[in-house]
């Protein structure tokens, strides 16, 4: 895929080989510029700041091409050890600096004080504002931390009844989207001969002219939007429809809820959403539903929180039991007590058989599994729930409706409500019709509000051709992306943190979106575009939203509006259960297998459908289960890999219906045989982070069966590809193992060296409920390896025990500590992204990650246990353990890492010279080193994003988790001001704040009443690598599972 040669052109640099791509690219690159012309353009722009001018130019025709010729392949420059450009740059800089060493003058910067300081602004003190992250599955209510009115951190709105202050990884990462330097900065007008940077006012004039030309009623005018969850936009559309009855609205997203829509329409007669009440469920059955991963699954936040709460062990409480029948291994499957890996088509058979109470024909384990699950469901009745996956077929949804009805779960563990989407539709069907109409010339004007169909639509529809046949096309988006480059108008959209709006959450409650900052590039919203159509442009977006809010705010509108803005949601706007019971219906199922391999499509756990592909945090984040970063792959089982006779370092060609795309194969433990999974969201050809990464799976997708294709052919290419996987431990052996005979034997867990070692070293400690009741001390079985030596066993018995008292107040000092509940942790990575934002962690790029230099302070270690074909997985968030006896501190020759009296292991960045000895002596390997200059000091927009309370680390400096010391100090200062001790729960670390399942607890271990102290005293609390006598301050709470005794014996037998 990504070739390393520095002179590849844009098209050849990616894995995309089809000529369509080349056409796209060449068609957006008009006449060439020369350097002289660039200078001439710059000369004319004296009025603006330099960096803005350059940005202006980037949009100018030919600029990109000029840069490409002048500086070939600058995109992956960091990756090349010795690029000419980088060399000249640093050489030039060092020459320039040669004369001024020793007396460096800081560059002149102008600082303007407030003439009139805003009333609520204290410089250095953050403000918090409530708004919501609109996402197609439902908005996530958030509280945005704002420093001098710059949003610097997104966290959940703690008062919201649905999310309770939790967020998912996408919501966390949208902060970087706001400051993305590749964002669209202008309205672009391509109606004239030359591309011109235009204004929204010009667009409005042009658009209205165009509408006037249309036949009466706006025949031929089509709006293509993403899923609408905004009541105001829906109301606006209603008004627009009244004015232009001929205009049409098509909602379409590549990852949509069509299966659920089709099934609910058939079952209820109208579109219906299911809301699951997992707090009431003893038995949860997931049919390919990955509801513990991210907001990609509707209701992720309440579902995961309720799951974790019921999964916590407490004497006298019934623990829930999770069954997952799935294809691609997910974190949900990993958390399951019993996971069954089946092909998507088999899952459908399984679901139908379950609903019909019949039997399931499969291998021995699958049959046993089916019988045990059926028995367990019958036993649990209304305390059980069946959750179908959004990418499962409508038939599976129908089976789930039927099952939940049979169990009597409706009203107990599941309620049916009206959909979160304001105007629910079957998106793929609508979209197919639209493309047909476009091709046949019925569409005269197409307005694309958000979305990127040129990139993300199934290739068989030919949306690109359709777009060419529409005379007047408009694209509004955050980026001048693949679609935005091909429309006659491109409008720069305002980010949701820059704009007014409203959106519904999973529970139906409405949150009013308020801007945190003036639009950085003066963008507008989809409300503004519709307002243009309504010829009502004098009204601001806020007024539109406020006017419409009367429909859901009860009582005094003005007071209600203020309260809604303050609280972050509108009270009483949540849906109530509809009290409907589903009927039975026969529904479309997956296409019948025609032999060969099946190809399943999933959203990426990092880039989703590709909208986050330019987000460095999400690109770099090791994906759940696979630990892949900056890549996507053909995910398959080891048997499949052995059958195909391929290795993980090769590139294979997947061929479906004549479409061919290259992917590297990657073995995923637990993946079913006979099916290959690919993820969307990579292979884009726009964006400094997104382009050159991975392959575009949309090219293989068929519109008829979007999430499963049959008749897949796999061809070898003979090319090599170096996958970027952060847990490289098994990479060196795994591919070979697949090729050896081992693959076809029953492989025991001992074959997996890391998994075996993790068990041997007691890094992961877990027991079943029965085992635990038999031996409550299972996390501390008496082997020496597992326990911290007593203070007296040490050569240095008088270690400081952090119980000094302040002489004046006689109050014991603080001693910070953390616990992480492995029973609750679902491995969703929200904490990892939150840590990125809070601590200004650098994004380092694919090549650096590949050699193992990833900078995440916090990582989710995943250990597989048992059979390589059907393993169990355990997650363990791992960050600096703040050892009391820290090895890193003793070996640092300059004292750059030292202990605070409160027991925090701190890094003094400006003292660090970078010997890296501390990392060598750290058994947890949680220290991260700036091997090169990773921090981006040049990109202006990213400077606004940084947390001003945390240093930006330069080259040659070690860094690591600080327990969010800036938050600790903030709380201590507040407490000091009020003359009191820091209260328990007052300090919330960034990871803790994000964690949807509240697995992380932080506090003062010297405070006997602190929650962290209670957790540390629990029988199940243990320290990782305790026997080294490093005395870590972070401890883990061993997992407990609640397996079905029948299946337990079946598995071990």
Residues near another protein (CB under 8 A): 81-82, 86-87, 90-91, 94, 727-729, 732-733, 753-755, 757-758, 760-761, 763, 785, 848, 851-853, 859, 861-863, 876, 878, 887, 890-895, 911-917, 919-921, 923-925, 927-933, 955-958, 1024-1025, 1028, 1030
Cβ-based nearer residue to another protein, 632 or 876: 876
**Tokens, residue 794:** 């040490």
Closest distance to another protein from the beta carbon of 865 (Å)? 12
CB of 793 to another protein, least distance (A): 15
Query: Shortest approach of another protein to residue 729 CB, angstroms?
Result: 4
Per the rule left: phi > 0, alpha: psi between -120 and 50, beta: everything else, 847 is alpha
Give Cα separations from 206 to 192, 473, 609, 679 (angstroms): 11, 11, 32, 39
721, 799, 1004 from 1022: Cα distances, Å: 41, 20, 17
SS3 224: strand
Say which residues have a Cβ less than 8 Å from residue 513's Cβ, sequence separation at least 6: 131, 132, 134, 496, 499, 500, 501, 502, 503, 545
Compute the least distance from the CB of residue 757 to another protein, in Å: 5
Closer Cβ to another protein, 439 or 850, answer by number: 850
Distance CA 114, CA 389 (A): 53
Q: Judge whether 682 and 632 are in contact, CB under 8 Å.
A: yes
Please say which residue, 357 or 901, places its beta carbon nearer to another protein: 901
Residue with smaller CB distance to another protein, 510 or 957: 957
Q: Give dist(CA 235, CA 415) in Å, integer.
A: 26
Nearer to another protein, 26 or 890 (CB): 890
Instruction: Please state the φ and ψ torsions of residue 460, each to the nearest 5 degrees.
Output: -70, -20
Task: Give 198 or 848: the residue with its C-beta nearer to another protein.
Answer: 848
Count of C-beta atoms within a 10 Å radius of residue 203: 23
CB atoms within 10 A of CB 164: 16
Residue with tokens 């009860």: 554
CB of 72 to another protein, least distance (A): 20
Least distance between another protein and beta carbon 604 (Å): 22
CA dist., res. 865 & res. 767, Å (int): 13
State in angstroms the smallest separation of the CB of 96 from another protein.
13
Closest distance to another protein from the beta carbon of 929 (Å):
6
| Cα–Cα distance measured from residue 33 to residue 61, given in angstroms and rounded to the nearest whole number | 8
Measured from the CB atom, the residue of 206 and 900 that comes closer to another protein is 900
Give the nearer residue to another protein in terms of CB position, either 721 or 859. 859
For residues 84 and 378, which CB has a smaller minimum distance to another protein in the complex? 84
Concatenating the DSSP letter of every residue in 10-43 gives HHHHSS---HHHHHHHHHH--S---HHHHHHHHH
In the complex, the smallest distance separating the C-beta of residue 499 from another protein, rounded to whole angstroms, is 40
Integer Cα distance of 444 and 437 in angstroms: 10
Q: Which one, 559 or 785, has the nearer CB to another protein?
A: 785
Nearer to another protein, 371 or 933 (CB): 933
Residue 112 or 795: which CB sits closer to another protein? Answer: 795
Kindly state the smallest distance separating residue 872's Cβ from another protein, in Å.
16
Helix (H) or strand (E) holding 491: strand 489-492
**Cβ proximity to another protein, 720 vs 761, nearer residue:** 761
> Which of 230/747 has CB closer to another protein?
747
Which of 607/788 has CB closer to another protein? 788
Phi, psi of 377, rounded to the nearest 5 degrees: -65, -45
State the nearest-atom distance from the C-beta of 764 to another protein, in Å: 10
- As measured in angstroms, the least distance from the Cβ of 750 to another protein is 13
Q: Are 496 and 133 in contact (CB under 8 A)?
A: yes
Contact (Cβ atoms closer than 8 angstroms) between residue 771 and residue 778: yes
Question: Distance between CA 10 and CA 31 in Å, rounded?
Answer: 17
φ, ψ at 510 (rounded to 5°): -95, 135
Indicate the burial class of 796 (C-beta count within 10 angstroms; 0-12, 13-18, 19 or more).
exposed
> Using CA of residue 914, residue 918, residue 922, residue 924, what is the dihedral sign?
negative
Query: What is the number of other CB atoms lying within 10 angstroms of the CB of residue 264?
Result: 25
Closest CA to 863 of 961, 784, 753, 737: 753
**Closer CB to another protein, 915 or 966, in the complex:** 915
**Which neighbouring-strand residues pair with 110?**
none
What lies within 8 Å, CB to CB, of 509 at 6+ separation is 141, 160, 161, 162, 569, 570, 573, 574
Q: Which is nearer to another protein, 99 or 538 (CB)?
A: 99
Q: What's the closest the beta carbon of residue 84 comes to another protein, in angstroms?
A: 13
Shortest spacing between CB 768 and another protein, in angstroms: 23
Is 122 or 753 the residue whose CB approaches another protein more closely? 753
Phi-psi domain of 825 (left: phi exceeds 0; alpha: psi -120 through 50; beta: other): beta
Q: How far is the CB of 277 from another protein (least distance, A)?
A: 35
CB atoms within 10 A of CB 797: 9
Q: How far is the CB of 328 from another protein (least distance, A)?
A: 22
Task: Please tell me the distance from the alpha carbon of residue 344 to that of residue 287, in angstroms, as a whole number.
Answer: 10
Q: Note whether 822 and 875 are within 8 A (CB).
A: yes
Q: What does the alpha-carbon distance between residue 55 and residue 941 come to, in Å, rounded to a whole number?
A: 11
Given a contact cutoff of 8 angstroms between Cβ atoms, the answer to whether 549 and 170 are in contact is: no
Least distance between another protein and beta carbon 742 (Å) = 17
Whole-number minimum distance, CB 756 to another protein, in Å? 9
C-alpha torsion 44→47→50→54, nearest 10: -50
**Cα dist from 225 to 190, 252, 261, 681, 972, whole Å:** 21, 6, 18, 19, 48
């Amino acid at each position: 895929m990504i070739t390393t040669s520095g002179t590849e052109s844009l098209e050849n640099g990616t894995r995309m080989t089809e000529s369509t791509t080349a056409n796209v690219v060449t068609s957006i690159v008009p006449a060439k510029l020369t350097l002289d012309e660039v200078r001439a353009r710059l000369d004319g722009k004296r009025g603006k700041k330099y960096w803005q001018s350059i940005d202006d130019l980037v949009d100018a025709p030919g600029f990109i091409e000029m840069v490409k010729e002048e500086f070939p392949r600058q995109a992956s420059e960091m990756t090349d050890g010795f690029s000419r450009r980088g060399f000249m740059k640093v050489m030039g800089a060092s020459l320039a600096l040669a004369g001024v060493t020793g007396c460096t003058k800081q560059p002149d910067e102008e600082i303007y004080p407030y003439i009139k300081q805003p009333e609520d602004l204290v410089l250095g003190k953050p403000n918090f504002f409530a708004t919501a992250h609109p996402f197609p599955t439902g908005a996530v209510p958030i509280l945005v931390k704002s420093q001098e009115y710059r949003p610097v951190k997104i966290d959940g709105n703690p008062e919201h009844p649905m999310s309770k202050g939790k967020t998912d990884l996408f919501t966390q990462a949208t902060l970087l989207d706001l400051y993305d330097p590749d964002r669209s900065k202008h309205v672009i007008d391509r109606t004239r001969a030359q591309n011109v940077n235009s204004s929204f006012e010009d667009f409005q004039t042009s658009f209205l002219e165009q509408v006037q030309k249309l036949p009466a009623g706006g025949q031929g005018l089509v709006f293509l939007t993403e899923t609408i969850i905004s009541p105001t936009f829906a109301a606006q559309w209603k008004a627009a429809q009244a004015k232009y009855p001929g205009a049409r609205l098509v909602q379409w997203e590549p990852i949509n809820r069509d299966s659920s829509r089709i099934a609910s329409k058939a079952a209820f007669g109208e579109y219906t959403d299911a809301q699951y009440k997992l707090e009431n469920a003893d038995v949860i059955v997931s049919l390919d539903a990955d509801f513990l991963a991210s907001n990609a699954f509707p209701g992720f936040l309440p579902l995961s929180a309720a799951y974790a709460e019921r999964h916590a062990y407490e004497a006298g409480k019934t623990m829930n039991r999770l069954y997952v029948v799935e294809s691609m291994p997910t974190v949900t499957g990993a958390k399951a007590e019993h996971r069954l890996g089946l092909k998507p088509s088999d899952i459908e058979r399984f679901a139908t058989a379950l609903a019909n109470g019949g039997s399931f024909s499969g291998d021995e384990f699958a049959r046993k599994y089916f019988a045990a699950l059926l028995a367990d469901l019958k036993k649990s009745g209304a305390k059980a729930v069946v959750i179908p996956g959004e990418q499962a077929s409508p038939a599976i949804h129908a089976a789930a409706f039927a099952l939940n009805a049979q169990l009597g779960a409706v009203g107990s563990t599941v309620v049916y409500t009206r959909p979160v989407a304001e105007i629910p539709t079957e998106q793929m069907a609508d979209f197919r019709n639209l493309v047909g109409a476009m091709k046949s010339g019925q569409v005269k004007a197409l307005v694309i509000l958000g979305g990127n169909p040129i990139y993300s639509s199934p290739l068989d529809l030919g949306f690109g051709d359709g777009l060419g046949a529409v005379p007047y096309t408009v694209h509004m988006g955050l980026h001048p992306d693949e679609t935005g480059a091909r429309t006659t108008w491109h409008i720069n959209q305002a980010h949701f943190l820059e704009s007014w709006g409203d959106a519904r959450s999973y529970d139906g409650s409405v949150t009013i979106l308020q801007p945190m900052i003036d639009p950085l590039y003066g963008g507008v919203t989809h409300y503004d575009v519709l307002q243009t159509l309504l010829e009502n442009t004098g009204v601001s977006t806020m007024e539109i939203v406020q006017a419409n809010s009367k429909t859901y705010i009860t009582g005094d509108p003005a007071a209600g509006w203020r309260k809604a803005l303050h609280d972050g949601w509108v009270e009483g706007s949540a849906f109530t259960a509809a009290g409907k019971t589903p009927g039975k219906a026969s529904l479309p199922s997956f296409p019948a297998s025609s032999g060969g391999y099946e190809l399943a499509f999933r959203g990426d756990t990092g880039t989703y459908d590709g909208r986050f592909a330019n987000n460095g945090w999400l690109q770099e984040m090791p994906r759940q289960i696979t630990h892949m970063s900056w890549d996507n792959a053909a995910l398959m089982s080891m048997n499949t890999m052995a059958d195909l006779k391929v290795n993980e370092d090769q590139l294979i060609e997947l061929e479906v219906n004549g479409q061919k795309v290259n992917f590297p194969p990657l073995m995923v433990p637990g993946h079913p045989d006979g099916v290959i999974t690919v993820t969307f969201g990579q292979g884009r050809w726009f964006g400094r982070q997104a382009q050159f990464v991975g392959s575009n799976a949309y090219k293989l997708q068929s519109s008829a069966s979007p999430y499963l294709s049959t008749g897949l052919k796999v061809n070898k290419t003979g090319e090599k590809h170096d996958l970027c996987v952060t847990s490289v431990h098994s990479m060196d052996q795994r591919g070979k193992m697949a090729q050896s005979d081992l693959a076809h034997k029953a492989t025991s867990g001992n074959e997996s060296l890391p998994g075996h070692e993790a068990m041997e070293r007691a890094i992961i400690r877990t027991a079943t409920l029965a085992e635990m009741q038999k031996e409550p001390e299972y996390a501390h079985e008496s082997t020496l390896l597992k326990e911290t030596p007593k203070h007296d066993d040490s050569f240095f018995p008088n270690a400081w025990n952090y119980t000094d008292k302040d002489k004046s107040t006689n109050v014991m000092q603080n001693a910070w500590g953390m616990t992480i509940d492995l029973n609750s942790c679902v491995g969703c990575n929200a904490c990892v992204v939150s840590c990125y934002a809070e601590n200004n962690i650098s994004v380092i790029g694919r090549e650096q990650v590949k050699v193992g230099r990833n900078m995440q302070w916090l990582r989710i270690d995943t250990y597989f246990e048992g059979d390589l074909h059907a393993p169990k997985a355990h997650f363990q968030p791992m960050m600096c353990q703040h050892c009391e006896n820290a090895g890193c501190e003793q070996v640092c020759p300059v004292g750059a890492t030292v202990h605070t009296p409160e027991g925090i292991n701190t890094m003094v960045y400006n003292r660090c010279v970078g010997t890296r000895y501390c990392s060598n002596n750290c058994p947890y390997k949680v220290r991260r080193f700036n091997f090169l200059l990773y921090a981006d000091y040049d990109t202006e927009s990213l400077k606004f994003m940084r947390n001003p309370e945390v240093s930006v680390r330069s080259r040659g400096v070690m860094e690591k988790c600080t327990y969010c010391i800036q938050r600790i100090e903030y709380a201590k200062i507040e407490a000091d001001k009020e003359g009191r001790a820091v209260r328990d729960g007052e300090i919330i670390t960034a990871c803790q704040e994000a964690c949807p399942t509240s697995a992380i607890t932080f506090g003062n271990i010297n405070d006997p009443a602190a929650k962290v102290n209670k957790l540390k005293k629990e029988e199940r609390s243990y320290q990782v690598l305790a026997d080294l006598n490093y005395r870590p301050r972070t401890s883990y709470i061993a997992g407990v599972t609640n397996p079905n005794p029948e299946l337990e014996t079946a598995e071990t037998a």
